[in-house]
Structure 1
Amino acid sequence: MTMTIWQGVVTILMAMLGTVLTRFLPFVLFPESKEPPRFITYLGTVLPYAMTGLLVVYSLKGVHPLTGNHGAPEAIAIVVIILLHLWKKNMLLSIAGGTAAYMLLVQLVFV
């Protein structure tokens, strides 16, 4: 089933509205001149670690250590991420390096 032109326009406008709202709403609700509520500050310190844990669990949910390559590419990529982060303390570099290492391992080594 294909969308009509009008449905496509409405879909794009709703995506734009959702993006704009999620980008600017925090600045409207919590201006720089006011102290944010303690609960929001707490979430700001806890959520990054919780989301990282969720991503790790999600990434490893399909790994079966007793079959196939025994999770070797995943384990090597995790070690690369940890080493990069200990070396440079840069989250973006750690994630990009780990992803690149995993993709190279899966595509070239553990075929």
Structure 2
Amino acid sequence: MEAALWFVLSGTRGGANRARILRAVDQRPRNPNQLAEALDLNYDTVRHHLDVLSENDVVRASGDDYGAIYLPTDRVRTHWGVVESITEQLESNEREHARSNVEN
């Protein structure tokens, strides 16, 4: 599970958005429309990331297809320390990137 988390959250281009989505559903289970609004992302983008997270057993849907809400899987909850480490590293990288853009 640890390798899957590193892959889907930091090893691919959309990892930062997937990390944001995962943290959002951890705070409060939400449907794709609610996530798109809360995170200021396109609905189709959110659906794509939810599919990737679901395929890797990171989130699961609860409810019918259209109104389904998403929440972290029990497996991810047992590895939440890894999620925190990854998101901290992503945030640190973003701060460093922003700082280097200001200096240049």
Query: Scaled by the length of structure 1, what TM-score is found?
Result: 0.29
Q: Which has the higher helix share?
A: 1
Higher relative contact order, structure no. (Cα contacts within 8 Å, ≥ 6 residues apart): 2
| Structure of larger gyration radius | 1
Query: Scaled by the length of structure 2, what TM-score is found?
Result: 0.30
